[in-house]
Chains A and B, each alone.
Chain A
Amino acid sequence: QSALTQPASVSGSPGQSITISCTGTSSDVGSYNLVSWYQQHPGKAPKLMIYEVSKRPSGVSNRFSGSKSGNTASLTISGLQAEDEADYYCCSYAGSRVFGGGTKLTVL
């Protein structure tokens, strides 16, 4: 099972919005509404931010939102804050579970 494709890096200024894409295939992202997103700060464990494409766990800011179109899922962060600077990973059900390669978000 191949990893999902994410951009290596994205950046934005405080207050702006950014979107991180996660591209899979018709066998994973395209077939199931089972995409999740994780935030990981350096040296820390990942944190669940979005599950089932667009649902937010309790306690996660509503500045984080998820969507999907075809074989590509997206994570949008609005009103960027310095604390959002981290690595972000998508994950999809694919018979197995497959992660994206990760995207480093830099807040300028």
Chain B
Amino acid sequence: EVQLVESGGGLVQPGGSLRLSCAASGFTFSSYWMSWVRQAPGKGLEWVANIKQDGSEKYYVDSVKGRFTISRDNAKNSLYLQMNSLRAEDTAVYYCARFIREAFDIWGQGTMVTVSS
């Protein structure tokens, strides 16, 4: 079964850091672009970042550039999102998604990140 499972969410103070992980199974992880997409409470979806199969290309939404870093470990079938200098507006459910043909075709169940003092 193709599956993505996120972890690492939680409550963090403004200015703090958090690292999200996404474990992939059921497909050849190293063959796909991967993404992070977030959804603030009661709001719509927002693309956050993409990473190429070998990690050589990374793209970010403007609002997280310089603060978030997407990375992957193909040997561990894992995707990561390092989030620094967190702000209240980063509060959201963060989804890991497989990215193919400019679409997010497989999604994890999401992990909640709350930035609050």
Contacts and interface: CB of A to CB of B under 8 A. Distances in A.
A40 B47 CA distance: 15
Given A97-B47, A102-B45, A45 B109 contact: yes
Chain A at the B interface: mostly helix, strand, loop or mixed? strand
Contacts of A18: none
Contacts of B110: 45
B106 to A, nearest CB: 8
Interface in B16-53: 37, 44-47, 50
Contacts of A51: 101-103, 105
Given A34-B102, A45-B95, A91 B107 contact: no
User: Chain B interface: which size bin?
Assistant: 20 to 34
B88 interface: no
Nearest to A37: B103
A84 B44 CA distance: 18
B46 A99 contact: yes
A36 B45 CA distance: 13
B11 interface: no
A89 B104 contact: no
A12 interface: no
Contact of A98 (B47, B95, B104): B47
Contacts of B102: 32, 34, 36, 51-52, 93, 97
Interface in B60-108: 61-62, 95, 101-108
B104 A52 contact: no
Interface of A: 1, 3, 32, 34, 36, 38, 40, 45-48, 51-52, 57, 89, 91, 93, 96-102
Interface of B: 37, 44-47, 50, 59, 61-62, 95, 101-110
